[in-house]
């Protein structure tokens, strides 16, 4: 992580090294927090944050599912994101809003604890590597199952949920793979450690539905709409691991991962196919302002400098 100048913390811009919390913070001990990952891209018209309002609405919904009052509206947080981008002077960056129960009582119940709200920004390249974006990654089916919908609210992007993801991807990395794919307790495909999964078969696109305990990904939703706009039929349904093994193509999506081809699963070679690359190109063209088709998804934080 590259240090930048400022971090927005509880309504104020503070120096990077001064953005601190107490070791007794509830969120540190119990994972009682929610967060988002958002990308701002350099476009011909200036810096644009991709689907910023949608991300912040999901943050608000995540907080509500954890009985957490943020104390800021979506509009407040949107303004804070734009202010932070301007303060750090980054034409392209990753934004990390996070809210967590802070320092107060250390019982398991968070009732009465304050809520800290923070936004960080820093430059972050391809999450799974530039080579992964181009040539695809190798994934391993994890021995860790995705947590069930009645274990924890999977529609909330909660910090504590990501212990599940951390265990899965660490296991995969230690075995020499780039990423993990988790299954549900019933053996259906759920998602990656931080990405949604798509399969291409016979010219149609398939992705697990929300019953698989997946996070309702904003990039997932974006890709579904883009793929349909390109003329592809997209099915949201239960998938089994055999669907991955027999896929013509497969890819993973996420704000950090963008659209990353999945070239092999458990050493079964899938390769990188034309539909995946077409969807990837359309997604990046949209996020980088090179296409007007989905221009409403771009929220401009800075204007492009005028030509001399």
Among 277, 93, 286, 128, residue whose Cα is nearest residue 200: 277
At 278, phi and psi to the nearest 5? -65, -45
Among 244, 95, 123, residue whose Cα is nearest residue 179: 244
DSSP track, 243-288: HHHT-SEEEEEETTTEEEEEEEETTEE----HHHHHHHHHHHHHHT
Are the C-beta atoms of 24 and 103 separated by less than 8 Å?
yes
Q: Which of 6, 134, 140, 157 is catalytic?
A: 157
At 126, phi and psi to the nearest 5? -60, 125
Neighbouring CB atoms inside 10 A of 44's CB total 9
State the DSSP H helix or E strand holding residue 229, giving kind and residue range, or none if neither: helix 218-229
157 in catalytic set: yes
Active site residues: 157
């Amino acid at each position: 992580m590259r240090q930048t100048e400022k971090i927005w913390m509880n309504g104020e811009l503070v120096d990077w090294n001064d953005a601190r919390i107490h070791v007794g913070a509830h969120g540190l001990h119990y994972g009682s927090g929610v967060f988002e990952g958002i990308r701002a891209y350099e476009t011909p018209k200036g810096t644009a944050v991709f689907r910023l309002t949608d991300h912040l609405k999901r943050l608000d919904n995540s907080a509500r599912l954890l009985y957490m009052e943020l104390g800021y509206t979506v509009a407040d947080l949107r303004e804070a994101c734009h202010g932070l981008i301007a303060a750090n002077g980054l034409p392209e960056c990753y934004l990390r809003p996070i809210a967590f129960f802070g320092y107060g009582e250390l019982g398991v119940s968070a009732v009465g604890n304050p809520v800290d709200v923070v936004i960080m920004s820093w430059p972050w390249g391809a999450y799974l590597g530039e080579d992964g974006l181009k040539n695809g990654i190798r994934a391993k089916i994890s021995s860790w199952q995705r947590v069930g919908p009645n274990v924890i609210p999977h529609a909330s992007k909660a910090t504590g949920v990501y212990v599940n993801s951390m265990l899965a991807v660490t296991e995969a990395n230690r075995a020499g793979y780039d990423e993990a794919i988790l299954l549900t307790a019933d053996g259906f495909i759920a998602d990656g450690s931080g990405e949604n999964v798509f399969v291409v078969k016979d010219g149609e696109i398939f992705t697990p539905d929300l019953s698989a305990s997946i996070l309702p990904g904003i990039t997932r939703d974006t890709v579904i709409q883009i793929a349909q706009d390109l003329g592809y039929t997209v099915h949201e349904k239960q998938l089994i691991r055999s669907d991955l093994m027999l896929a013509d193509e497969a890819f993973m999506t996420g704000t950090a991962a963008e659209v990353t081809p999945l070239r092999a699963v458990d050493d079964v070679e899938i390769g990188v196919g034309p539909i995946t690359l077409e969807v990837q190109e359309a997604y990046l063209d949209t996020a980088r302002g090179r296409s007007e088709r989905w221009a409403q998804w771009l929220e401009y934080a800075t204007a492009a400098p005028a030509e001399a």
